[in-house]
Amino acid sequence: METRVIEIDPLDDCRRVYREAADLLAAGELVAIPTETVYGLGADAFNADAVARVFAVKERPSFDPLICHLSNARALKDIADVPEALQPLVDKLAKEFWPGPMTLVLPRRACVPDVVTSGLPTVACRVTSHEAMRGVARALGHPIAAPSANRFGNISPTSAGAVLKELGGSISLVLDAGACSEGLESTILQPFIDEKGKPAVRLLREGPVTREKLRGICRVVKPGKGGEAEASLPNAPGQIKSHYAPGKPLLLHDPRTPFEPQEGVAYGLISYKGDSPLAEQDCWVETMTLSPGSGRLVEAAVRLFAVMRAMDENEEVQVIVAEELPKMGLGYAMMDRLTRASARRDD
């Protein structure tokens, strides 16, 4: 199969392109579509056969559910059955963070195929701030089931070029809107009623909507904390131990302490600001910096996956070393991705 690429500018009138992409989705084809976080591999969420192809193309395990992208918040009622007690919190979160990089896990309606939710009674719902995904969903008239457009477990794609390297020849079309503006996958939340009868959210995946932002709205519970048990199988995307991983080994290291390289191994360093004691060692064949000098977590988040991919493609580097990042704000989300990237897949 030849994968076509159509370059778009979301600021222009792209309705013809969105219609073309929607027609392919309606015919059961797969289309890579940008969001503000990463590029998604889209299928008509109501077409179980097409969604099954997403799992096949990505080589994604069937127990790992997908996110459904909506054209607007009003479409939430089409796939989710929000309990009355949670409706005020859901409305508040949607008003604050949609369109944007937040996914809500809610009770599903019967119209959502089992393959989308991996048989779970919940469905993950999102309204991206990127006009391309919303425009295609609007033209389709259905939600779009879209995980990241890469082979399962690999580094998430933040550009059309990265999608083509991963899935070129396996899908019909890539809509190219340039680099993603956020760079990290959406924050995933599950609203629930806590032991005191108050609405709260479980933080299932760290992302651009940070803990600090959420705490201004409601109580935030991390699974495994405060009496909350972690699920044995994923109840949302991005929860598997080894994920977002390069093909080469990746090691996490404290930037304040010396690194002891093994003789004969070529190491590349991913540094936060580029001025740490670790970065000043002379054992690196390549050093790439996430936020040179300034140490801005927002800039580092945008660059993280692109830098990981570039380091992975550097033929001189055998092992990647990544500096641990500050555990605050977006640092939590980046450390989540790096920790999963450093987990060996044969563990």
Residue 154 and residue 16 in one domain: yes
Split at pLDDT 50, 70, 90, the class of 302 is: very high
Mean per-residue pLDDT for 150-165? 96
Considering the chain, what percentage of its residues have pLDDT values greater than 90? 89
Give dist(CA 338, CA 206) in Å, integer.
12
167 and 290 both lie in a single domain: no
What is the pLDDT, as a whole number, of residue 198? 92
Place of tokens 């651009």: 208
What's residue 136's pLDDT? 98
**Any idea what DSSP says for residue 57?**
H
What's the confidence (pLDDT) of residue 222? 87
| Four-residue CA torsion sign, 162, 342, 251, 184 | positive
Instruction: Provide mean pLDDT across the span 220-237.
Output: 67
Domain boundary among 118, 153, 176: 176
Residue 321 in any domain: the answer is yes
pLDDT band for 224, please (50, 70, 90 cuts). Answer: low
Residue type, 130: H
Task: Indicate whether 208 belongs to any domain.
Answer: no
| pLDDT, position 135 | 97
Backbone dihedral angles phi then psi of residue 298, each to the nearest 5 degrees: -65, -45
Q: What is the pLDDT of residue 1?
A: 86
133 touches 34 (CB < 8 A): yes
Residue 45 sits in the same domain as residue 161: yes
Residues 23 and 152 in one domain: yes
pLDDT band at 283 (very low <50, low <70, confident <90, very high): very high
The verdict on 276 and 160 lying in the same domain is no
Number of domains in the chain: 2
Closest CA to 236 of 72, 54, 106: 106
| Phi–psi pair at 345, nearest 5 degrees | -70, -15
Q: Pick from 11, 204, 13, 218: which is nearest to 95 by CA?
A: 218
255 alpha-carbon distance from chain centroid: 26
pTM of the predicted structure, to 2 decimals: 0.94
Averaged pLDDT for residues 284-299: 94
The 10s digit of each residue's pLDDT in 137-151 is 999 999 999 999 999
Predicted local confidence at residue 212, as pLDDT: 94
Q: Which residues contact 280 (CB under 8 A, 6 or more apart)?
A: none
Residue with token string 């096949």: 56
Helix boundaries (H) for the chain: 15-26, 48-58, 76-79, 87-97, 114-117, 131-140, 160-167, 211-215, 297-313, 330-342
Under DSSP, the state recorded for 181 is: S
Average pLDDT of span 126-143: 97
Amino acid 242: pLDDT: 80
Domain range spanning residue 261? 250-342
Dihedral angle computed from the Cα positions of residues 255, 258, 262 and 263, in that order, rounded to the nearest 10 degrees: 120
Residue ending a domain, among 111, 145, 176, is: 176
Is the pLDDT reported for residue 132 higher than 60? yes
CATH number of residue 158's parent domain: 3.90.870.10
**Average pLDDT of the chain, as a whole number:** 94
Which of the pair, 112 or 346, is modelled with greater confidence? 112
For 10-57, what is each residue's pLDDT tens digit?
Answer: 889 999 999 999 999 999 999 999 999 999 999 999 999 999 999 999
**End of a domain among 161, 176, 191?**
176
- Give the model's pLDDT for residue 228: 53
- Say if residue 71's pLDDT is above 60: yes
Is 80 exceeded by the pLDDT of residue 346? Answer: no
Would you say residue 34 lies in a domain? yes
pLDDT tens-digit series, residues 230-241: 555 677 787 777
pLDDT of 99 over the 60 cut: yes
- Average pLDDT of span 255-268: 96
pLDDT tens for 172-203 read 999 999 999 999 999 999 999 999 999 999 99
Q: What is the mean pLDDT of residues 258-263?
A: 96
* 7-11, 24-28, 222-226, 297-301: least confidently modelled range: 222-226
d(C-alpha 172, C-alpha 182), whole Å? 25
Q: Which two tokens stand for residue 298?
A: 């927002």
Quick check: is 30 in a domain? yes
